[in-house]
Structure 1
Amino acid sequence: APGRRNVAMVFQNYALYPPMTVAENMAFGLRNIRVEPDVLRKRIAEAARILVLHRRPSQLSGGQRQRVAIGRAIVKEPKAFLF
């Protein structure tokens, strides 16, 4: 199944969820694959050192949105990234 391939995708248009904060956007995929809450928080903290987690995508510049999209892929710890 596609979800078991351990590949993370970053779309050109970011594919972020506007009502969610940066942290919630990054956690979304991990929650879908049922990552334990402690592991989820650790991965988000590691990937988010340079991001402002309480903001919403509409409050971010294009470059910041792209970094959030990349962060969302990083927290999955995939074997490959598709950009």
Structure 2
Amino acid sequence: MEVKIFYKNQVEVAKAMNDLIDKYWKDEIKENILLEGIVKIISNNENKIIRNGTYTTIIQQRCGKRRLEIIDRIFKKQDI
């Protein structure tokens, strides 16, 4: 699966992360592709995802609690 590196706004970032996680949950992609995709998105769009040490409101609302838990684990695992 091809993941864009840069996104225009927070809504696009949230949609891209949601799509990746949903495909992983449906067993359409493997874990390593999920990890690589989330790391790429976060490292290149961090200012759209995190402000003042927490997820932005749009990211929280669009992604939801379960997806953010997965993103948190990837953050900690990769030391981003």
User: What's the TM-score once normalised by structure 2's chain length?
Assistant: 0.32
Structure whose CA Rg is larger:
1
TM-score (ref. length: structure 1) = 0.31
Higher relative contact order (CA 8 A, sep 6+): 1
